[in-house]
Structure 1
């Protein structure tokens, strides 16, 4: 009996959990073509093989001669957490905007940018400065909106909708870019409290703008990063697709807190097993430098402050943690006193996390990977990591969006082909 050879394509299809029919629909080919690819009678091109690898959960590895799967732009880029997530599924960043000088310094130290990193998004020329792209990602700041009466605006001959409701806010700039370019998809990220901000009015305007005025199919979801990193960090992710590609957050694979790591996984071991990295660690054993240990004055103040609020029945105070714990949310104010995440030390005052530990806590540094370049002061680094995203969460959301992104790209190619045929008839 002849032994049937199982091809890489067939293995990837089964690992992705796709039937022959589903694979055919996804790739935009006939079921017969899928059967032939399964059997090795046809060879899949590099693009389709890369897509199948990603869908089966394998990491993306781009070869030198391989084209990116899609193009995206990175707005309010910070230090590139969203970019990392979308590059991990085969995307190519073609435009970046970040107003903060220190963030741009860190961003450019960690990414090879073949395009300039723009500053103020409000000064970007939508036609001249932004090239063609498929997906928009943005971690825009949260600001209050004014809700104006549409009828009154009409009577005065003024614009209404998001052009007036959001004017002057940074979300307005995201919305006008979406309106102008009509990307196939977007991901917007913000703090969890966006949903309740200004008694829910802010979120109401955002959702109305994206769905009713810009015409996107939109789904928001709050995700806690605790399943990926040893930190309780809830953020809202808003995904939109221009066409109905069947996207839903209902079946996204979310890691539970029980699966998540503990602080010991990101702390400096201080036993000589780690390479010394000054100014964070020093000496033969690569111990954390003394400057991260709280002074007696600051430690006494934090204890007194916590005791005062405990007496009043309040929960304010410092957070003291060990290697088996999960930390509170790292904030941009961490540089002030480090009080939300203090690491207990035997025989001396607790200490702050080092910026390197913050990079690990946010998922920028992964075991076995290249450490992130931190070219700025500790103060700036704390602000940057405190304002950033948990990279593995973004990767999970991006991977969940990938089938929809690829489907929308194929729909776009088919529509262009039909349009060209119609012109010839």
Structure 2
């Protein structure tokens, strides 16, 4: 059998695509947004469970790996306001911890925005690590008393370093259970690849229906002569700015637009969005364009997750948790 995983805060399934591509089998998913559920179902054939706060952890099947792109919330202010005993209680991360306690997976992969590092003066990340860790990035915490006992590794990775034509920095937090190794395991985040992908190779031409009106161009986009917004075409040898969930609002400072279309300037096409997030062109988008931009803007960059997952499985394999031929045989054996 393949290694099995749960896909929490699943969005449209970026984690699932990445892990299934290396032999994983998704046995549980959770996503509350009804439009993301529609896209998830169109591509995977099942509807994720809804509100994670209403899911009983014991009802989740046994899993080897837990993945979650959980929201960033200020633990200290919520806990203080509500009088909770645990600093994460009242946040969605608390539900992730409850599931980790109940299911005790061999490993987890968490993803969040880079701002998590400085969020709430650094308290948010510190509480996360304190809750999960018996070691952090190879340093054993001898006096720690975490809620769950994992060797935790974290780093900020940029999608442009892993074959994606987009600058997209995200923090990844990987945990390997103490049950797998009492000593610090030999996990390492994937190094940047030498080959760089540039957006020009993915720009489409003569696209209809994505144009930005001349009026909006003159009154807003180009109202200042400051080199903004970022414009691309087939000759652009750059990685584009981070795709945001609010891209549909046409923001001149953060947006990237294409020199094409009926008015000469247009929004990114569906296929261009797929390309800058590392999704296959066959991925089905059954929702409106506004929802599409929100969904891709909230998603993970699939190739980055895939590389992190490969390194994690390789580490588990070295501890005799997975067979040497896991990529071909799609099997995992018990620890």
Q: Shorter-chain-normalised TM-score: which range?
A: 0.7 to 0.9
* Aligned ranges 1:323-334 → 2 under 5 Å: 323=234, 324=236, 325-334=238-247
The 10-residue stretch of structure 1 (296-305 or 136-145) with the greater mean CA deviation from structure 2: 296-305
1:63 match: none
State which of 82, 88, 103 in structure 1 corresponds to 2:21.
88
Contact between 1:97 and 1:119, CA under 8 Å: does it hold in 2? yes
1:169 match: 91
Q: What is the CA-CA distance between 1:347 and the residue it aligns to? A: 9.6
Contact between 2:78 and 2:90, CA under 8 Å: does it hold in 1? no
TM-score for both structures, normalised by structure 2: 0.83
Contact between 2:5 and 2:67, CA under 8 Å: does it hold in 1? yes
1:208 match: 130
* Aligned ranges 1:241-390 → 2 under 5 Å: 241-243=176-178, 244=181, 246-249=185-188, 252-256=190-194, 259-268=195-204, 270=205, 287-289=206-208, 291-303=209-221, 305-307=223-225, 317-323=228-234, 324=236, 325-337=238-250, 339=252, 340-345=255-260, 348-365=263-280, 371-390=282-301
State which of 97, 102, 110 in structure 1 corresponds to 2:30.
97
1:107 match: 40
Matched, 1:224 2:136: no
Distance 1:376 1:159 in 2: 39
- Structure 1 residues 249 and 306: CA distance shift in structure 2, 3 A: farther
Distance 1:295 1:148 in 2: 43
- Please say which structure displays the higher CA radius of gyration: 1
Contact between 2:14 and 2:299, CA under 8 Å: does it hold in 1? yes
Counterpart secondary structure, 2:75 = coil
* Aligned ranges 1:387-406 → 2 under 5 Å: 387-406=298-317
> Unpaired segments of 5 or more residues in structure 2?
134-145, 324-331
**Aligned-residue CA RMSD in angstroms?**
2.7
* Aligned ranges 1:134-145 → 2 under 5 Å: 134-145=64-75
Contact between 1:302 and 1:318, CA under 8 Å: does it hold in 2? no
Q: Which has the higher helix share?
A: 1
Distance 2:320 2:98 in 1: 21
> Unpaired segments of 5 or more residues in structure 1?
1-66, 151-157, 271-286, 416-425
- Structure 1 residues 77 and 148: CA distance shift in structure 2, 3 A: closer
Counterpart secondary structure, 1:231 = coil
Q: Kindly indicate whether structure 1 or structure 2 has the higher relative contact order, using CA contacts under 8 Å at least 6 residues apart.
A: 2
Q: Residues 27-81 of structure 1, C-alpha deviation per residue, up to 9 Å, x if partnerless?
A: xxxxxxxxxxxxxxxxxxxxxxxxxxxxxxxxxxxxxxxx21x110000000000
Distance 2:286 2:334 in 1: 46
1:282 match: none
Contact between 1:95 and 1:131, CA under 8 Å: does it hold in 2? yes
Counterpart secondary structure, 2:57 = coil
State which of 158, 163, 168 in structure 2 corresponds to 1:233.
168
Counterpart secondary structure, 1:236 = strand
Q: What is the CA-CA distance between 1:336 and the residue it aligns to? A: 1.1
Distance 1:346 1:147 in 2: 47
Q: Residues 267-315 of structure 1, C-alpha deviation per residue, up to 9 Å, x if partnerless?
A: 22x3xxxxxxxxxxxxxxxx300x31210121113345544xx5xxxx9
Contact between 2:28 and 2:48, CA under 8 Å: does it hold in 1? yes
Distance 1:148 1:362 in 2: 33
- Structure 1 residues 222 and 294: CA distance shift in structure 2, 3 A: same
TM-score for both structures, normalised by structure 1: 0.66
Q: What is the CA-CA distance between 1:405 and the residue it aligns to? A: 3.0
Matched, 1:120 2:51: yes
Contact between 2:75 and 2:87, CA under 8 Å: does it hold in 1? yes
